[in-house]
Chains A and B, each alone.
Chain A
Amino acid sequence: MYRTIAQIDSATQILSLWFPQVFTRVRLPEASQEGRPVYALRMRAGGGAGRRGVLIVGGTHARELMNPDAIVELAIDLFLSHANGTGLTYGGRSWSADDIALIVEALDIWLVPCINPDGRHYVMTVDDMWRKNRRVNAGTTCVGADLNRNDDIVWGVAQGQTSCSPCSDVYCGPSAFSEPETRNVKYLLDTERMVSFVDVHSYSELVLYPWGHAPTQSTDPTKRFTGLTTGTCTASIPATYSEYMPPRDVQRFTTVAGRIVADIAAVRGRHYTPQTARALYATTGSQGDYAYSRHIANPALYKTYGFTFETGPFLSNSQESFHPTDPTLVKRDAKAGLVGLLQQSVCAIELIGINLFDGEAEVATLRTFRDELLATTPSGREWIALFERAQVALLTAVLRDPKLMQEAADVIRAAARAIADEGSTFKEADAARAARFIRVLKTKTKIRSLQADLGAVIAQVEKMAGRSMQEVIASLLRRKPAKPTKSVGARRRATNTSHGA
């Protein structure tokens, strides 16, 4: 069963009226083409300014009916879990009450269940395969623009699945952001600090990330979309062109998408594929690409990691695939993927540093170190990946324990101080404190691979104690985290269980 746009609006209104301490409903600045209001729902528990934001939008393509409902239900699932202090379970994937509390208390979760209310209404009253919005295209009898082709990223380059013809189902509109519905999403990106964005579509069981207009490469930073001729509906992208993405961002997109896919698979075994949008087909002006492109076009803007989900498998035909008779299981998969994205949008250092000891300067130092130094070598990126793996699993344990939290804050302070002064030495006392802290963390997890990760960090910390910070940094940039060596017993077990040809 699917909700009408009025029922979706009613649900967001009820949440904001009954539980204003958690939900705030915001009417976005522009009404839709046919004059319907468009609402965003902000979800957050507790106080605090300058939180990391995550923007989840759905209903971009009108006929993909499941996702606006899934987004509304996700809000309620998260709320109930938090209010009752229970965990959240979707099939075989569970999050603890602490995991959910961390998400809801650390992030500002912005939900726009349906950015295209006219389209949804049209699907329910006239044509269940309608895709676009309901713009009236002057000089033609054809209606609508594709809201996932209308953003200001290589807009007006009609290639692959993008068209400048108003009668096409992938019509990009008369100009970038010509549509009030896309301008509403841009407004949220302009006014809030969104670290992650996802536009939830159907179908195909994919988790997509940039780029969509060209293949992605990480070797030639001069190849940027900002240098392409766009906006004319006559320009094209050279066949040999590939768009640059820094290795660090490639790593972030692939690891986050990989974890989202794993979260979805754990629900009931559906295997979503993580890939670049271009691997599906060439597109320009898409919302996911735009969200990520903003900080490149204007370095003063925040970096937002932009994703597109394609929920649900192909069923007997496209109608059934876009709006299955029973969408319950597909919605559950989608919600698991969204919780996975939310969980990975929390930053441990930022949370501990800014919220616990007012350490904006320390956090900024560590962020610069990560992005401008560590991210520049393959070994450095392995260390970043290790840290991100560990923080998802261990942050709740740290936050639950005031003593551990204090120790984490001390380690962050010491690390930032040492990194800020390359001429300094990695003091024996700081190394001992960090190693002791990580040993305690190691006892908080039963995940063997994570224990091994933490073991590698302890080994590195102890090895570097007393060395100059220059040496420490050079080592991180040159040497990957050590792989755990298997014990003789483990090697023997592995040999015994290996299969012959």
Chain B
Amino acid sequence: MPSRQKPPLRGEGPPALRFEATLGSANYAKAIAATSELGLDRLPDVDRKVRVLLSSDDARKLLERGFEVHLLAPIPVGPLEKSLIMTDRQSQEWIESQLKGIPRKGSK
């Protein structure tokens, strides 16, 4: 089973460089259709804007179709920040502390 893998190259998965972006368009349906056509990863947006995760190549294609593309932030391809992942010890200690005092199978 693979453990830690190298970030993928273009085509194998996500592109090496990508952005979170919104599409500016007077025609919401047209913008949605364009994201579907390009197979873009559409992200939820509270203001019902068309928010996507895209590569610079995707952004170019959208610009060529006449859309305004607002790049909001670069989203680097990388694993989840390590500090956000529980260690095995933390995980075990948490469950032990939760279940402390409850008689277990085989306990006297």
Q: How far is the CB of B59 from chain A (nearest CB, A)?
A: 16
B63 at the A/B interface (Cβ < 8 Å)?
no
Question: Count the A-B residue pairs with Cβ separation under 8 angstroms: how many?
Answer: 146
Residue on A nearest B42 in the bound complex, by CB: A161
B99 at the interface (CB under 8 A from A): yes
Least Cβ–Cβ distance between B86 and chain A, in angstroms: 5
Q: Are A128 and B95 in contact (CB under 8 A)?
A: no
> Is the Cβ of B39 less than 8 Å from the Cβ of A19?
no
Listed residue (A7, A19, A158, A317) with the most chain B CB atoms within 10 angstroms of its CB: A7
**Which residues of B are found within 8 Å of A20, using beta-carbon distances?**
105
Give residues 19-69 of A contacting B (CB, 8 Å).
19-21, 34-36, 65
User: Which positions 41-78 of chain B face chain A at CB distance < 8 Å?
Assistant: 41-46, 51, 53, 72-73, 75, 77-78
A127 within 8 A of B: yes
- Category for how many chain A residues contact B: 35 or more
A285-326 residues with Cβ-Cβ distance < 8 A to B are 310, 313-314, 317-319, 321, 323, 325
Given A1-B86, A76-B98, A317-B73: A127 and B79 interface contact (C-beta under 8 Å): yes
B108 at the interface (CB under 8 A from A): no
Which residues of A156-211 have CB atoms within 8 Å of chain B's CB atoms? Answer: 158-161, 163, 165, 167-171, 203-204
Is A143 interfacial (CB-CB < 8 Å)? Answer: yes
> Is A11 part of the contact surface with B, judged by Cβ < 8 Å?
yes
Interface check B26, CB cutoff 8 A: no
Partner of B95 from the list A76, A126, A313 (CB cut-off 8 Å) is A76
- Interface residue total, chain B, C-beta cutoff 8 A: 46
Closest to A35 in B: B1
Cβ–Cβ contact B92 & A128, under 8 A: no
Q: Which of B8, B90, B99 touches A127 (beta carbons < 8 Å)?
A: B8
| Docked CA distance A21–B3 (Å) | 35
- Please indicate the chain A residues that have their CB under 8 angstroms from the CB of B45 in the complex: 314
Query: B residues near A, CB below 8 A?
Result: 1-8, 11-14, 20, 32, 36, 39-46, 51, 53, 72-73, 75, 77-81, 84-86, 88, 90-92, 95, 98-99, 102, 104-105
Other than the given A4-B86, A65-B80, A317-B73, 14 more pairs (CB < 8 A) read A1-B84, A2-B80, A19-B102, A125-B3, A127-B7, A127-B77, A141-B11, A142-B13, A143-B12, A143-B13, A144-B13, A160-B32, A171-B39, A323-B84
